[in-house]
Structure 1
Amino acid sequence: MSKTKVLLVGAAGETGGSIANGLLEDGSFEVIALVRPISVHKPAILRLQERGIAIRKCDLKAPEEQLIEALAGIEVVISCVGPAEQQDQIPLAKAAKAVGVKRFIPCGFITVAPPGGVMWLRDEKEIVYNQIRQLWLPYTLVDVGWWYQLSYPRLPSGRVDYAMTSGNDEIIGNGDVTTALTDLRDIGHYMALIIKDPRTLNKKVLAYNLVSTQNEIYNLMEQLSEEKIDRNYVPEETICSRVLAARQASETYPFDPIKFIPRYLAEYQYSWGVRGDNNPEYAKYLGYYLTPELYPEYKPTDYREYLESVIRGTAKGVYTDRVISRKHQRHFPRTESSDSLYTRIFPRTESSDSLMSR
């Protein structure tokens, strides 16, 4: 039986890497990575090739005829582009329509939130979704909840710092708002199930493992680590003030994209921590299918077991080469290599630091 040809955009990233793993492990797919010509010799791309992933070279900003050529023979497109590249997917969608792609999965993969002013990132994605619908292109929209890998707090001993991107030392409001959690590594397995499932065509899916609160996560970390963790409760009013300040500071986008990092952080906290959007019940209200209902036979990664691996020192962190603010740099010693990488991607400004240190 022939394998389904899947073109994966962003295969070297965190989400894209999980999807590549899940599709390869499933065995039903031929995975092809779309890569910018200037990136084809990067170590991460060479590692993809070593695993049997074919490479097609094309930039998302290339002329439509080149995108059409890159999509030749492709049945499913999965896009995992960066926050600032969302609308770059529109030409790719047009090319997918032209060649008859059977399913286009644009870059969703964030927490549940309604469109229209709650999260800028959500609204950027919705622009792409609307373009896809206008093309009458078969699609599936997939969101994934909050990652396990970003959900837990720092321990006073520092023994889980190796796997953390930031100190993650804030509890929003009273800490009792429920949020859907997903292990990054499970996303690829969910995608293998979703793109083989006719029920998910032209639908929205929330792929998640469990629902928890920040207080419950802190309690579990204290139990497993036998360490007492300080609880820094941040009032809803503070989060709302951060959102307003970050929105005002980001008005110069795209000329100063660094200003959107505080906005991403503040709006995520506002959406899942204050509004409680990232909740399966609300997702169903918004029209999502839920993976526990679609695939009851699938056994996701157990959250307790994941936290145990973090505490043991055997977990793998995400975005560990990045630093979010000076506030967190005190906990995570910086190196020249990590600094230079970070500043090449996100030039530092005093305004972005002061916003998150309030």
Structure 2
Amino acid sequence: MDLSNALMSPNNDLSGTTWCLYNNSCRLSIGGIVAVAGATGNTGSSILNALLKTPELFQVTALSRPTSVEKPELIDFAKRGVTVKAVELDGSIEAISGVLVNVDVVISCLTLFSFQEEMNLIEASSKANVGVMMLGDKVSIRQTKEFELNWYQLTLPALPSGRFRPMVEEYSTTHIIGDGNTPWTLTNNRDIGNFVSRIIADQKTLNKMVFAYGEVMTKNEAFDILEKVSGETVTREVITKEEVQGVISQGHTGKGRTVNPKVGMAECRNLLGIRGENTPEYAHYLGYLDARELYPDVKFTSFEKYIGVIMQTE
């Protein structure tokens, strides 16, 4: 889950843990070139692996810093048919757009504090007439695809035994928010690519917003499942509505746009656990397409199965 836009404050316009495809091309044709920025991260590698399952549909390119092109992960992807291109995303727009010549769609999976690099990527993609997928809804380009993701991996608290800890604990939603009875959607990050590969190639999603997810449950239900599968009792730390909204109010008293993880996570918790806006029903109300309805054949990992797997591997 890339939180770079979600953590911008105080003019935070958070709409959830959202990914958007700003696509100003007519459609991704068979054999089209898809470039992924941040390809070696959890999200990027999930997407690359999904795209590589259908080489007849996609030619896959990984965008990398020049200093990282020899990373073992990229060498492995290259052996599997991925073209690796070196580019400095904090460089000139002209240089970036030059690397994107003949690319059809760019998918941004950049890290937390890469806001300016993402802005450069958007501008360069627009200059090169290339669609770009990224988190948030800050930029208006003609055709948009958007889908909602909140990782299983960022939802579970640490177990007392130490068998499991959240992937990025400080940016996780591991507390009970409010009374813990507000439902929201969850997705295994390894399933993300399966949705992305279908959405970017689907004519029906052009100029549409798409809501994709694995499970819908409350925080209390998630903790109940964790305790049942692990056999351990988990301390349920609570963040109240007043605490969440207090952090947001303090963050909005400043001026300008700064990266503020604390405020960004409060915005996320407010949307998920207080306002309850991360649900298929609310997405339908806003006009989103439902990826589960569009692609009923796409398999996803159930929350309980995911916990069972990590219990076996830890």
- Return the offset for 1:309: 1.1
Q: 2:103 aligned to 74, 84, 101, which one?
A: 74
Partner SS state of residue 307, structure 1 = helix
Which residues of structure 2 form unaligned runs of 5+? 1-28
Moved more, 63-72 or 216-225: 63-72
Superposed CA offset, 1:129-165 (max 9, x none): x2x23xxxx4423332x1111122222222223x643
Q: 2:80 aligned to 51, 57, 62, which one?
A: 51
Superposed CA offset, 1:257-291 (max 9, x none): 4xx12122222111111111211111122221111
Partner SS state of residue 278, structure 2 = coil
Partner amino acid, structure 1, of 2:198? L
Using the size of structure 2 for normalisation, the TM-score is 0.81
Partner SS state of residue 25, structure 1 = coil
Partner SS state of residue 297, structure 2 = coil
| Aligned structure 1 segments of 4 or more residues deviating by more than 6 angstroms | none
- Listed as ranges, the matches of 1:279-290 within 5 Å are 279-290=279-290
Which residue is 2:61 aligned to?
Answer: 32
- Listed as ranges, the matches of 1:151-230 within 5 Å are 151-161=155-165, 164-166=167-169, 170-230=175-235
Task: Give the share of equivalent positions with the same residue, in percent.
Answer: 35
Distance in 2, Cα, partners of 1:165 & 1:269? 15
Superposed CA offset, 1:177-229 (max 9, x none): 00011110111011111112101112111110110001111111121122222
- Return the offset for 1:35: 1.6
Quote the RMSD (CA, aligned, Å). Answer: 2.5
Which residue is 1:12 aligned to?
Answer: 40
Partner amino acid, structure 2, of 1:228? T
Distance in 2, Cα, partners of 1:63 & 1:18? 29
The answer to whether the 8 Å contact 1:181/1:209 transfers is yes
Which residue is 1:140 aligned to?
Answer: 145
Distance in 2, Cα, partners of 1:310 & 1:220? 13
- Return the offset for 1:252: 7.4
The answer to whether the 8 Å contact 1:9/1:33 transfers is yes
Partner SS state of residue 140, structure 1 = strand
The answer to whether the 8 Å contact 1:154/1:168 transfers is no
Using the size of structure 1 for normalisation, the TM-score is 0.71
Partner amino acid, structure 1, of 2:168? T
Which residues of structure 1 form unaligned runs of 5+? 109-124, 315-358
Partner SS state of residue 297, structure 1 = coil
Structure whose residues are more often helix by fraction: 1
Which residue is 1:106 aligned to?
Answer: 133
| Structure having greater relative contact order (Cα 8 Å, sep ≥ 6) | 2
Q: 1:183 to 1:169 in 2, by over 3 A?
A: closer
Distance in 1, Cα, partners of 2:86 & 2:35? 12
Which residue is 1:22 aligned to?
Answer: 50
- Return the offset for 1:12: 1.6
Superposed CA offset, 1:67-119 (max 9, x none): 23211221222122234433544443444344443xx23212xxxxxxxxxxx
Partner SS state of residue 188, structure 1 = helix
The answer to whether the 8 Å contact 1:22/1:189 transfers is yes
The answer to whether the 8 Å contact 2:272/2:278 transfers is yes
Distance in 1, Cα, partners of 2:83 & 2:54? 17
Q: 1:59 to 1:51 in 2, by over 3 A?
A: same
Which residue is 1:127 aligned to?
Answer: 138
